[in-house]
Amino acid sequence: MKTKHLYINTIGCQMNVYDSEQIAKGLTVLGYKLTSLPEKADLIIVNTCTIRKKAEQKAFSFLGRMTGLKRKKPDLIIGMGGCVAQQEGQKILQRVPHLDLVFGTNAIGRLPGMIKTITAKKCRIVDIKMSGQIEELDFIEDKHHTGKVSSFVTIMQGCDNYCTYCVVPYVRGRETSRNPDKIINEICGLVESGVREVTLLGQNVNSYGNKEGLCTFPELLARVNEIDGLLRIRFTTSHPKDLSTDLMLAFKDLNKMCNHIHLPIQSGSNRVLKRMNRKYSRKLYLEKIDKLRDICSNMAITSDIIVGFPGETRTDFQETLDLIKKVEFDGLFAFKYSDRPNAAAARFEDKISEKEKKERLQQVLTLQAHFTTQKNKELVGSTQSILVEGLSKKQTRIDKPIINDDVQWTGRTSTNKIVNFSRRDNALSCEQILTGRMVKVRIVKAHSHSLWGEPVSIVPMFLGLRGEKSYVA
C-alpha cells in the first residue's frame, strides 16, 4: 500500500487530543502516516473546539490559510472534525469552498470510509449523525505512542448536565460510557508501547457507568491500578455534585493515583451557580474540598472560573475572589464568559461588558498567581518523585550538541507540578536518566509556573508479572 501523509491540527481540550490520536490510528488502514508539515500532506484535518468563540475563529483561520495549498494540490483532501463541525454541519461547506469533508464528534469510526469515498468519487461529504453509542475502532497496532510517557484515554463521551453556558451536550451528545474491558485493553496496549501514565477523560468522569449499569468510576480506577507497568493515573473532569466519598478514598487506597484533582467551581456565588445550572452550592463545594484534604493532606486542587457570566454583579464576583482565597488552589483556568450557540445563557439579557470582563479576569489571574507561586515555594527543600517525560523545552530549543553535564530533563510531580532538572554537580550520569523513568528530585528553586531541582536517585526497576521490565512507583 502506498504511504500517504496525514496532517492534523488539534484545537481545544484533552478529549480532542485523544480524538486526533484515534483519527490517526484509524487512518493507518488506508496507508496514512502522520506528518508535521501541512505542505507534505495528502490529507489535512483540523479537529475543532467550540467551547469559546476564539477557538472557533482559530479553526476557520487555519482553513483559510490552506486555500493556496489546495490550489497547488487539487487532490489534497481537507476535512474539519470535532465540535465546530458537529455544531455547524452543512453550513461550513458554503463558508469554506475548498473543504471536502465535515465530520462530527460521533463520526470518527466512519472516517476511513468517508475518505475512500471522497478519493474515488471526488465528492464532498458531511456526516454529523449522532448514534447515541460510542463507535469503537477495531484493534489496530498503535504506533503513534512510541516514545510517549503519558497518554489520554477517553472513558465516556457527552454530558447530561446542561450547564447554561456550555455546548457540550449539543455537540457531543448525551452521556455515554465505554465498556470497562475495552478501556482496560486500550490502556494495556498503551503500556506495552511505553506509556507510563494515563489520564482518563470524560465531561464528568464521576458519573461513569451509572446510566449503563457498568462498574462505578472508583471500581474502574481500581482495575486500572492493577495494570502491570503503569505508574500513574490521573483523570479529568470531575463535577463537584457527583464527587463521592468512594472516589475521594481512591486517592488514599490506590497507590498509582496522583495526588491531584481538577474540580471546576466556575463561580463562588450561589446565585450565579444556580443560573449556571451547576446543581451544587458554594457550601457543598467547600465541604468536599475539606474532605478531600482530610483524606489526602497533600492533595493539589485546580479549578475553572468563568468571569462575567450574564448578571454577575460585583458582589457575586467578590464572592468568587473570596472562595479562591479560602481554597488556595494550586492552579486555575480562568476565562471570560462568551455566548455559544444553543447554550441557554446566550439568551440571557443582562450581559457584562467586555471591559468589565477583562478587568475581572485580570483580578482572578493576579490573585491565583500569588497562591501558585506560594505553593511552589513551599516545595523548596523537599524531595519529589518525578516521572520523566523527556528533555525540557529549553533543551529541545538548543541548536548546539548536548553536553553530558548540561542535559536538562522535565517531568511532573504527583501533584502535577512541572519540574526541570539536570545532572550538573550530581553523581548521576545523564545516560541513567531516561524518559519514562521515575527519578527522585530535590527541589532547589521555585518559579511561577515550574520548579527546578537536582536529581537524587533513580527509582529501581523490577520484573513485572509478565516478565517485562516495570517500575516501582
Residues 333 and 347 reside in one and the same domain? yes
My answer on whether 111 and 89 are in the same domain is: yes
> In this structure, what C-alpha cell is assigned to residue 335?
476565562
Same domain, 266 and 370: yes
Q: Is residue 302 one of the residues assigned to a domain?
A: yes
Query: What pLDDT is stored for residue 206 in this prediction?
Result: 96
**Helices (H), strands (E): how many in the chain?**
15, 21
> Last residue of a domain, which of 377, 401, 417?
377
| 137 occurs within a structural domain | no
| Number of compact structural domains in the chain | 3
Angstrom distance (rounded) from CA 405 to CA 11: 37
Which phi and psi (to 5°) does residue 298 adopt?
A: -100, 30
The pLDDT value recorded for residue 51 is 85
Domain contains 117? yes
Domain boundary among 95, 127, 159: 127
End-to-end C-alpha distance for the chain, whole angstroms: 42
DSSP percent split of the chain into helix, strand, coil, nearest 5: 40, 25, 40
Could you list the pLDDT tens digit for every one of the 473 residues in the chain? 788 999 999 999 899 999 999 999 999 999 999 999 999 999 999 999 988 888 999 999 999 999 999 999 999 999 999 999 999 999 999 999 999 999 999 999 999 999 999 999 999 999 999 876 766 655 445 555 557 899 999 999 999 999 999 999 999 999 999 999 999 999 999 999 999 999 999 999 999 999 999 999 999 999 999 999 999 999 999 999 999 999 999 999 999 999 999 999 999 999 999 999 999 999 999 999 999 999 999 999 999 999 999 999 999 999 999 999 999 999 999 999 999 999 999 999 999 999 999 999 999 999 999 999 999 999 999 999 999 999 887 655 444 444 455 678 999 999 999 999 986 544 455 555 678 999 999 999 999 999 999 999 888 764 333 333 444 44
CATH number at residue 32: 3.40.50.12160
Structural domain ending residue among the three candidates 70, 94, 127: 127
Q: Are residues 247 and 340 in the same domain?
A: yes
Residue span of the structural domain in which 420 resides: 383-471
- Here the cell at position 338 is 462568551
> Under 8 Å CB-to-CB from 123, ≥6 apart: which residues?
117
pTM, 2 dp: 0.88
> Is residue 134, in this structure, part of any structural domain at all?
no
Angle at 162 between CA 157 and CA 163, to 5 degrees: 115
Residue 398 is predicted with a pLDDT of 44
pLDDT at position 421, please?
93
Regarding whether 406 and 295 lie in a shared domain, the answer is no
Are both 348 and 402 inside the same structural domain? no
Residue 326: give its domain's CATH number.
3.80.30.20
Q: Is-contact 302 416, C-beta < 8 A?
A: yes
Longest dimension (CA), the chain: 65
How far is residue 246's CA from residue 227's CA, in Å, rounded to a whole number?
A: 20
Residue 251 in domain: yes
Residues 220 and 280 in one domain: yes
C-alpha distances (whole Å) from 50 to each of 45, 236, 300, 303, 390 are: 16, 19, 29, 20, 32
The answer to whether residues 185 and 93 belong to one domain is no
299 & 176 share domain:
yes
Residue 144 located in a structural domain: no
Q: What is the pLDDT of residue 53?
A: 85
Same domain, 274 and 389: no
CA dist 170 and 283 (Å) reads 30
Q: What is the pLDDT of residue 138?
A: 52
Q: For 427, what's the count of Cα atoms within 13 Å in the CB-facing half-sphere?
A: 3
CA distances from 345 to 337, 338, 425, 457 (A): 10, 9, 57, 53
**Domain assignment of residue 92, yes or no:** yes
Specify the pLDDT at position 137.
58
- As a residue count, the chain comes to 473
Is 145 part of any domain?
no
Q: Which residue has the cell 446566550?
A: 346
* Beta partners for residue 454, in sequence order: 442
Both 313 and 182 in a single domain? yes
The per-residue pLDDT for 425 is 46
- 258 and 206 in a common domain: yes
Which pLDDT value is given to residue 207?
Answer: 96
